[in-house]
Structure 1
Amino acid sequence: MFDDTIAAIATAPGEAGISIIRMSGSKSLEIVDKIFVPKKNKSIKNYPQRRLVYGHIIDKNKDKIIDEVLAVYMKAPFTYTREDVVEINCHGGIVPVRNILDLILKNGARMAEPGEFTKRAFLNGRIDLAQAEAVMDIISAKTDKGFDVALNQLEGSLSKKVSEIRDIIVELLAHLQVSIDYTEEDIQEITYPELLSKSEIVRDKIKKLLDTSETGKIIREGLNTVIVGKPNVGKSSLLNALLRESRAIVTDIPGTTRDVIEEYVSIRGIPLKIVDTAGIRETEDVVEKMGVERSKEFFNKADLVIFMLDASKELTKEDREIMEHVKNKKAIILINKTDLPQKINENEIKEILHDKKIIKVSIAKEVGLNELEEEIVKMVYGGQVKSREMSLVTNIRHKNALEKALKSIEESIEAIKQELFFDLIAVDLNDCYEYLGEITGDTVAENIIDNIFKNFCLGK
């Protein structure tokens, strides 16, 4: 438990129906009692905890009512932070919220740092570090599926799997320590085959978690998707169709899109950060030329490329140049305008992009969009089960820790195969245990903890 009491606004700034100011710490009840006057009693202390109490926030020095509010006191340890917590529900808006917070700070609280409420929940043992990070993922989730994955982690799904792996390592380390310390005693030592078998189980479990990291990153951050093609092939029409709104200007004039347009769209629960680029072609127009250069930059950074071609026209030099770049990218090929007489040579496309999925569409007639969405889902999940049925590694910090743990267990396995001394094997096993502990926060450095919570919003 901490000695000081913190306070912050827990709701987003701006005009709203209500805003919430939150306090946490041993002086929370004492502070709210100084500034809050219930309608029917002299003190909030006369009410049971966890009951919303109607009354007024009053600046007693000025004998002035600040706002009409509902206040609730929650006693430790059954709170978000495992400390005494008070929440004040006031009218939304900058003025009442600011005045109430100023009054709280004048009466003994201090301003909370970003993420400090959740940090206290972690340090007080209510949640582990992976669960704390899931709180921020819930707040920033862009789709229902992203929310589901984050909620799973908040409920401890990833932490449980990591703990199961660490339990196996602890068992191995215990057997090794007994074998090292009591070599002269009549105690049955663990054998190298036993060590190898259980170490391989550890390795396989870590690999299984790592295999979800690419999908998890996409669910958490979105799939960087770029629509490319020469001018007037239907890129902006595709963006509008995916968004279900007219976001990009669509005309028959080549070069209408002269810069990139970025939007978020959810494809069956998968968040796509989708970019409609300027048509890639040789041009003398200075503004369009700058747009083409930006298109190339986004193309190089993309996780997924949607390359569009015009079925009603023969392949051009520009088409072929783009195809050469697309060859080395994760890409889907869309042949658009299939409602018009077809002139494009599909065989040539297949020769150059033989390993890419080709989908025929007509954006104007709304044909083929379902197949495109199905292919995106297939590429992201690779046939895996739905996100609610598995623990996805969505955090780059978790992925890095798992990679280090995997390296350590593989070194341990190699030492076991060579039948090296038990104490040498134990070093690598212990390293693996420590790296896994970084995920849940059991073995993580204090500066890393501070950096994680700095990314949180105030009041959380």
Structure 2
Amino acid sequence: MEMDFDTIAAISTFPGEAGIGIVRLSGNEAIDIVSKIFKPYKPKDLKKVKTHTLHYGNIIDPETKEVYDEVLVSIMKKPNTYTREDVVEINCHGGIVVTSKILELVLKHGARIAEPGEFTKRAFLNGRIDLSQAEAVIDIIRAKTMLANKYAQKQLSGYIGSRIMDIKDKIMGLLVHILALIDFPEEDVDELEREQMLNTAKEIIGDIDRLLLSSESGRIIREGLKTAIIGKPNVGKSSLLNALLKENRAIVTDIPGTTRDIIEEYVNVKGIPIKLIDTAGIRDTDELVEKIGVSKSKEVLMEADLILFVLDASKELSREDYEIFDILTDKDTIFVLNKIDLPKKIDEEELKNLTKGGIIIEVSTVEKIGLEELENTIYNLVFKGDISLKEDAVVINSRHKEALINAKKYMESCLNAIERGYSEDFISIDLNAALDQLGKITGETATEDLINKIFERFCVGK
């Protein structure tokens, strides 16, 4: 059942030059407000027209009779709308002036400006979607690859919510059984019954673990794999960035220290958004600006998910190369042996010892050799075990992950209590706490502050 809200309005298209712009309204007064400013080509009462229909005419200021624009008005009547309220969309010509003037007119006649994400928030509050589906909307908007879009669409369809509900149903079944034992304390729990309770608790923990399994891959699919390209000056870091991007984004010269600051760009590697970070060459320097760049490079090294350590195959290893080996962490590192189109001078046996059996990929950014192998290697590192590419995989976000981890802790506590023969009251407390955590994912037990925080991330008009 939908809740009673005031009528909101916003520009739902990008504010700039475009073929069309859309001013969207939602609420009980949406049709009335637009009726005051819309003059259809053929006279009609918008409140009586069929739902989900388009109407041609002009937006006119009722006071000045000024024609603002020639438009198409979409009428969508509740409950079969995005928000489960009456929704009207004014499809006008694109551009900041036209859309802004129409929005001003709409606000003047009774609507108020929508808050970020308020249309989707109303869809959630009116029960059309759960909280995980609402979060999928922003994931779709921000998707950097088709793979990211695919899993966001899957979440929008309610797949995560249905998986959570299945787990909650199992917990509820176990809780009902426990409560019955509390209500009838004279009934002793036999060994077979306790074994069934233990098996159910273990099954629930297993279900939660399967959801958690894709959490790290999910973060990468949504946000991108933070990949730092490091190495001493003039080994070809910027050339590698340009080669992977297939465009000249970074300045490339033979002068050491050309890159003074951090350059960040996304590249699509088989559906995975890779956030490439080209760093300043790491070396000792007295030049102030370059020194700051080197310091930033070391910071990026600590924060990266993956490191591409670029070495010059046409030269012997230098003191600067050794110093970089010394500051490497235990993060996934691919050693990129660049300039293999030139006579090779690097000591390969020494390199193997330094990399401790790590992955070495030979490339030439000039001749475009080895780049496909490098991309395949990055892909395989991301999806160890092919976790997130299975059809039943779920890409969960950090908020879902935290709730699942907490739910698992309560279920493990419940399991321990059953094994030790603790009172049913103790067991029921853990089960209720687990239900509360899972409810935060779908929204049933989410606090108002949490809900507001989630929708603050949205753009105005969505």
Residue of 314, 334, 337 corresponding to 1:335: 337
Does residue 1:108 correspond to 2:87, yes or no? no
User: Is contact 1:239–1:248 with CA below 8 Å preserved after alignment?
Assistant: yes
CA contact (8 A) 1:203 1:406 kept: yes
TM-score when normalising by structure 1: 0.96
Given the alignment of the two structures, is residue 193 of structure 1 paired with residue 195 of structure 2, yes or no?
A: yes
- Given the alignment of the two structures, is residue 25 of structure 1 paired with residue 63 of structure 2, yes or no? no
User: Aligned partners of 1:449, 1:265: CA distance in 2, in Å?
Assistant: 32
Could you tell which deviates more after superposition, 229-238 or 122-131? 229-238
Q: What is aligned with 1:207?
A: 209
The whole-number CA distance in structure 1 between the counterparts of 2:215 and 2:387 is 14
Once the two structures are superposed, the pairs formed by residues 193-342 of structure 1 within 5 Å of their partners are: 193-342=195-344
| Deviation by residue 1:195-245 (Cα, 9 ceiling, x = unmatched) | 111111111111111121110001111111110001111111100000000
Q: Which moved more, 1:39-48 or 1:404-413?
A: 39-48
The answer to whether the 8 A contact 2:218-2:388 is kept is no
- The letter of the residue matching 2:208 is I
Task: Indicate the residue corresponding to 2:354 in structure 1.
Answer: 352
2:364 maps to which residue?
Answer: 362
Counterparts of 1:132 and 1:190 in 2: how far apart (Å)? Answer: 43
2:176 is aligned with 1:177: no
Equivalent pairs, count: 460
The residue that corresponds to 1:54 in the other structure is 56
TM-aligned CA deviation for residue 73 of structure 1: 1.0
Deviation of the 1:340 alpha carbon = 2.0
- The corresponding residue for 1:12 is 14
Structure 1 residue aligned with 2:423: 421
Question: Hey, what's the Cα distance between the residues in 1 that align with 2:236 and 2:353?
Answer: 23
Q: Deviations over 1:369-407 (max 9, x none)?
A: 111111111111113155472333341111111111111
**Residues 175 and 190, structure 1, Cα contact 8 Å, conserved in 2:** no
Task: Return closer, same or farther for 1:225/1:66 CA change in 2, 3 Å cut-off.
Answer: same
Q: Deviations over 1:385-436 (max 9, x none)?
A: 5547233334111111111111111111111221211121111111111101
Q: Secondary structure at the match of 1:282?
A: coil
TM-score by length of 2: 0.96
Q: Which residue of 397, 405, 415 corresponds with 2:399? A: 397
The two structures, once aligned, show a CA RMSD in angstroms of 1.7
| One-letter amino acid of the structure 2 residue matched with residue 408 of structure 1 | Y
Name the SS of the counterpart of 2:72 in structure 1. Answer: strand
What letter corresponds to residue 147 of structure 1 in structure 2?
Answer: N
State yes or no: 1:128 paired with 2:134: no
For the Cα contact (< 8 Å) 1:7–1:111, is it kept in 2? yes
For residues 107 and 249 of structure 1, the distance between their equivalents in structure 2, rounded to whole angstroms, comes to 54
Q: Secondary structure at the match of 2:52?
A: coil
Separation in structure 2 between the aligned mates of residue 163 and residue 355 of structure 1, nearest angstrom: 45
Q: Is the 8 A contact 1:36 1:55 kept in 2?
A: yes
Cα offset for 1:56? 0.7
* Residue 43 of structure 1: how far off its partner (Å): 3.1
TM-aligned CA deviation for residue 3 of structure 1: 3.5
In the TM superposition, residue 260 of structure 1 has moved relative to its aligned partner by 1.7
Deviates most, 387-396 or 445-454: 387-396
Contact map agreement 1:210 1:393 (CA 8 A) in 2: no
Question: What is the rounded CA distance, in whole Å, between the counterparts of 1:185 and 1:272 in structure 2?
Answer: 59
Q: Which runs of 5+ in 2 are unaligned?
A: none
CA offsets 1:71-104 (integer angstroms, 9 cap, x no match):
0111100000011111110111112111111111
Alpha-carbon deviation of 1:159?
1.2
Residue 414 of structure 2 corresponds to which residue in structure 1? 412
In structure 2, what is the equivalent of residue 71 of structure 1? Answer: 73
Rounded Cα–Cα distance in structure 1 between residues aligned with 2:150 and 2:435: 28
Counterparts in 2 of 1:71-90, with a 5 A limit?
A: 71-90=73-92
Partner of 1:39: 41
Q: Deviations over 1:88-126 (max 9, x none)?
A: 101111121111111111111111111111011001110
CA contact (8 A) 1:176 1:190 kept: no
The 1:46–1:166 alpha-carbon spacing in structure 2 relative to 1, beyond 3 Å, is closer
SS at match of 1:308: strand
Report the Cα offset of residue 188 of structure 1. Answer: 8.3
Is the contact between residue 78 and residue 86 of structure 2 (CA under 8 Å) also seen in structure 1?
A: yes
State percent identity of aligned pairs: 54
Paired residue type of 1:194 = Q
Please give the alpha-carbon distance, in whole angstroms, between the structure 1 residues aligned to 2:214 and 2:195: 29
Query: Using the alignment, how far apart are the partners of 1:290 and 1:47 within structure 2?
Result: 65
CA distance in 1, matches of 2:295, 2:188: 75
Provide the residue aligned with 1:450 in structure 2.
452
